[in-house]
Amino acid sequence: MLKLNVNGKVHQVDVEPDMPLLWVLRDTIGYTGTKYGCGVGACGACTVHLNGVPVRACQTPVSSAIGHQVVTVEGLRDHVARAVQAAWEKLDVVQCGYCQSGQIMSAVALLSHNRAPTDADIDNAMSGNICRCDTYSRIRAAIHEAAKNLA
Amino acid sequence: MDDIRIENENRREFIKAGLGLTLGLYLAPRLAFSGTPGGVHAGTVLEPNAFVRIGTDNTVTVISKHLEMGEGTYTGLSTLVAEELDAAWAQVRVEGAPADVTRYANLFLGAQLTGGSSAIANSFEQMRRAGATARAMLVSAAAQRWQVPVDSITVHQGVVTHAHSGRHATFGELAEAASRLPVPDNVALKDPKQFEYIGKRFPRKDTHDKINGSAIYTQDVKLPNMLVAVVAHPPLFGARLKSFDAQRAKAIRGVVDVVAIPTGVAVLAPDFWSAKKGRDALSVEWDESDAFRLSTSEIFAQYRELAGKPGALARNDGNAEQAIAQAAKRLEAEYEFPYLAHASMEPLNCVVRLGADGCEIWNGEQSQTGDQHAVAAVLGIKPEQVKIKMLYAGGSYGRRANPHSDYVVEAVQIAKAIQGRAPVKMVWTREDDMRAGYYRPMYLHRIAGGLDGQGNLVAWQQRIVGQSIMSGTAMEPRMVKNGIDATSVEGAHNLPYAVPNIAVDLHSPRLQVPVQWWRSVGSSHTAYSTETFLDEAAYAAGRDPVEFRRALLNKHPRHLGVLELVARKSGWGQPLAPGKAGEKRGRGVALHKSFNTYVAQVAEVTVRPGGRYSVDRVVCAVDCGVAVNPDVIHAQMEGGIGFGLSAALYGQITLHDGQVEQSSFPDYPVVRMNEMPRVEVYIVESQEKPTGVGEPGVPPIAPAVANALFAATGQRLRKLPLRLA
């Protein structure tokens, strides 16, 4: 049994230590907001926060998350996250929506340490997150909008 | 079979709406099977139509016959109902319709199917009528209750009012009484001048659930005792299973079964990771005796040979060959288009549960009727015994409406192979998804053109070589006539420009590589060849590309409309801001009609030393008739441009000795945040019937970029993806 702290709650999970955090979250615990997109860390759909830092859950063995705070899209609570989600809603960013959990996790992580990101900062922080519906312009605008509201 | 609950679904979604206008007492389990198709729900009082349900809790539920895969159908269809119902936007919710072609057929296609950018176009009257009918019944109920004439009652924002007496009631308060009234036959629809929703921005109906992780996709379904299946597919198209050894797979913790299916070997476990480890541990021998073994270069060589001979004629105005022979100036070009993968963010998957009386499917379902028939054939049951719960799809771009129901049938085959012992969620990995075929076909185009002494384009001869998408599908009788698959030549055989001599012909070689429609279908290649060739002709004639097009479009006011709008908004004709030292900048235009929607785009590029380039700005003008929800239209143009740009910059599936060389995003790159241009969208005001917007934003971007690259560098690029020398 491994003890995993997800969204402030400790879960006991009986899985192999090399199982990627993504599948423990999705299949073992049931947090399905974190998505599978590629399994090789190339698309960002599985982005979660590990001690506040964005990581690709598909590339994170569950063993390396033990003793740390994992936050998924379902566990977003703070004012930065609320500002990001409000901006996403105001600008109607989503289309198919499948990548958006990961986009939001990356955006929240960016704004948590940079309250006034430039377009270049956004490119740096967000270019690991693919959106095949190409909602990028609205994601960029929503990050600026959230930053404005957090200022 | 009803009311199978998904374990992990949000319990708040089960809302008791009480007695309702259309369906009476009901549960609205979004993810459970709500009712029997064509049947009557328990407690139903009345069902005036299949699209609107009003609960005593004052909710208006719009039942969407179309899949929400990002293109905004749930919002658009809700807009139409809310308009005629005079509902408040906040009280409107959406539910996916069950599979039932008798009620939920696409009126353009005759099957329950979301495709061809037709969701709003085919539903425009139907959904408005559904809303208007419900409204009329609520008004009648109020008139009876208050003993006043019907025409003294008004409805606004979900409130029914008799102004003279000051009485009012909500929809919920009237729903039960209204449900006992006869359903009116012929309700009047609003005059467009009265529209309060259509033409204005209202927020999407699916945003909320998609930003907090609660939206359920096929990938997220978890049923009691469900097993996840990961499949080993043959490495080559046309290869088959010879034998397999499951010993090492079965030794993986969690693996409970390994079964042969017609398309490979499925490994089942309670979770994806264990099933995938099991799949990777399998030893499989494939029979490759009938496998496809050509490489991309060999396919193009065969296509080039075919292009030397006349094909089946799709259009023949005047005498193009003779006119070219007599032309003052002749132009020739050959174009190469690769296979393209859809590469939706949600790799393909499907959930199946077999039961004594049929089969249930949970899926981002794009082709209900086709899938019902295909599954019924596999199981030896009737199509109506295949019940389908339509969930959100994490993209599709056409892929989820497979004409052979490939992935749905595969999931059913797995469930069948384990004798239905457990519900099965089949999950393809990204690599499985990308290597499974059903690509946008490769094409080779050749165009020859002729200008007369005054620089007028007098002849156009186009030959297209590429696999037919429709051959061998249920749509073949309708879409393939006289050897011409309409989807192979669309956008070319209906070239709008006034050229007196036009010939378009087609070769449709048969290859084992499975092909399928890909967002904008034929226009994904024909717009490129026609619009870049026209650009070449304009330069050869010494004319401005916009002016050259304008002169050839006298009889096409809507083409002309978007061309003029995009020229004005892009600042066409004014000099571009210069780049930094060593950079070259250019601007290009392209214009294309697809799915009865007219789109023109101007792209601006910057080319850096060494040939790297970026697309900086795209201005887009669109005429899609009545703009039902302008913000959704903007979003679809933005998205279509990004999607088309991915193909223009990077997209190619290549084969080496029959093996697909790409597998995932590292070797099949797509546009990312840092490569997305600034996009400006302008909608032509129109009272024409609404037409689609999901696909038409895609075709013009690649030729607009190519024409811009030519303007910047003088290089004509005739091979996709676009790489400068």
Quote the Cα angle for A95-A97-A99, to 5°. 120
Please, which pLDDT band fits residue B203 given cuts at 50, 70 and 90? Answer: very high
Relative to beta strand A69-71, strand A2-6 is parallel
Interface of A with B in 108-147 (CB under 8 A): 122-123, 126-140
Interchain proximity B671–A85, CB inside 8 Å: no
Percentage above 90 pLDDT, chain B: 93
Interchain proximity A96–B253, CB inside 8 Å: no
- Is the pLDDT reported for residue B246 higher than 70? yes
Please, which pLDDT band fits residue B4 given cuts at 50, 70 and 90? Answer: very low
Report the residue from A35, A92, A126 with minimal CB separation from B631: A92
Interface of A with B in 47-66 (CB under 8 A): none
Helix or strand or coil: residue B374? Answer: helix
- Is the pLDDT reported for residue B206 higher than 60? yes
User: Can you give the pLDDT at residue B33?
Assistant: 53
User: Can you give the pLDDT at residue B15?
Assistant: 29
Q: Which helix (H) or strand (E) holds B450?
A: strand B443-451
Instruction: Give the CA radius of gyration of chain A.
Output: 15
Assembly ipTM = 0.98
Distance CA A87, CA A76 (A): 15
Please give the average per-residue pLDDT across B330-349, as a whole number.
Answer: 98
Please give the average per-residue pLDDT across B217-222, as a whole number.
Answer: 98
Quick one: tokens of B147? Answer: 């003993």
Report the residue from B7, B271, B345 with minimal CB separation from A130: B345
Please, which pLDDT band fits residue A46 given cuts at 50, 70 and 90? Answer: very high
Interface residue of A98, A105, A118, A144 to substitute, partner B, most B CBs within 10 Å = A98
Interchain proximity B673–A132, CB inside 8 Å: no
Q: Which helix (H) or strand (E) holds B266?
A: strand B264-269
- Contact A150/B at CB under 8 A: no
Q: Residues 6 or more apart from B511 whose CB is under 8 A from it?
A: B292, B294, B299, B467
- Is the pLDDT reported for residue B241 higher than 90? yes
Q: pLDDT digits over B419-437, tens only?
A: 999 999 999 999 999 999 9
A128 vs B contacts (CB less than 8 Å) = 672
B208: nearest CA partner in chain A: A89
Q: pLDDT digits over A63-117, tens only?
A: 999 999 999 999 999 999 999 999 999 999 999 999 999 999 999 999 999 999 9
Distance CA B124, CA B108 (A): 12
Interchain proximity B8–A32, CB inside 8 Å: yes
- Contact A30/B at CB under 8 A: yes
User: Can you give the pLDDT at residue B29?
Assistant: 37
Distance CA B706, CA B535 (A): 10
Å from B385 to nearest chain A CA?
A: 29
Q: pLDDT digits over B6-20, tens only?
A: 554 433 332 233 334
Complete DSSP assignment for B25-73 = S-B--TTS--S-TTS--TT----S-SSEEEBTTS-EEEEESS--SSS-H
Q: pLDDT digits over B441-453, tens only?
A: 999 999 999 999 9
Q: Which residue has the higher pLDDT, B555 or B5?
A: B555
Interchain proximity A35–B270, CB inside 8 Å: no
User: Can you give the pLDDT at residue B7?
Assistant: 55
Report the residue from B204, B345, B642 with minimal CB separation from A99: B345
- Is the pLDDT reported for residue B5 higher than 60? no
Distance CA B257, CA B227 (A): 9
Helix or strand or coil: residue A11? Answer: strand
Report the residue from B213, B273, B638 with minimal CB separation from A33: B213
- Contact A87/B at CB under 8 A: no
Report the residue from A30, A100, A133 with minimal CB separation from B8: A30
CA B454 to chain centre: 43
Evaluate whether B379 touches B355 at the Cβ level (below 8 Å).
no
Complete DSSP assignment for B131-181 = HHHHHHHHHHHHHHHHT--GGGEEEETTEEEETTTTEEEEHHHHHHHHTTS
- Is the pLDDT reported for residue B656 higher than 50? yes
Question: CA B430 → CA A6, B504, B596, B647, distances in Å?
Answer: 26, 38, 34, 18
User: Can you give the pLDDT at residue B47?
Assistant: 55
B674 vs A contacts (CB less than 8 Å) = 123, 127
Summary mean pLDDT of chain B = 94
Report the residue from B207, B212, B345 with minimal CB separation from A45: B345
A45 vs B contacts (CB less than 8 Å) = 345
Please, which pLDDT band fits residue B48 given cuts at 50, 70 and 90? Answer: confident
Interface residue of A16, A106, A119, A133 to substitute, partner B, most B CBs within 10 Å = A133
